[in-house]
Chains A and B, each alone.
Chain A
Amino acid sequence: DQQVKQNSPSLSVQEGRISILNCDYTNSMFDYFLWYKKYPAEGPTFLISISSIKDKNEDGRFTVFLNKSAKHLSLHIVPSQPGDSAVYFCAAKGGGADGLTFGKGTHLIIQP
Chain B
Amino acid sequence: DAMVIQNPRYQVTQFGKPVTLSCSQTLNHNVMYWYQQKSSQAPKLLFHYYDKDFNNEADTPDNFQSRRPNTSFCFLDIRSPGLGDAAMYLCATSRDLAGRGPLQETQYFGPGTRLLVL
Contacts and interface: CB of A to CB of B under 8 A. Distances in A.
Interface string A84-112: 00000100010001111111110000000
Contact of B106 (A9, A34, A105): A34
B97 A49 contact: no
Contact of A102 (B9, B42, B55, B102): B42
Interface residues of A, number: 26
A74 interface: no
Interface string A18-54: 0000000000000110101000011111100101000
Interface residues of B, number: 30
A89 B42 contact: yes
A97 B101 CA distance: 15
A53 to B, nearest CB: 10
Nearest to A104: B42
Contacts of B109: 36, 43-45
A43 B107 contact: no
A43 B110 contact: yes
Nearest to B34: A99
Interface of A: 2, 4, 9, 31-32, 34, 36, 41-46, 49, 51, 89, 93, 97-105
Interface of B: 4, 6, 9, 31, 33, 35, 40-45, 48, 50, 55, 57, 90, 92, 97, 100-102, 105-112
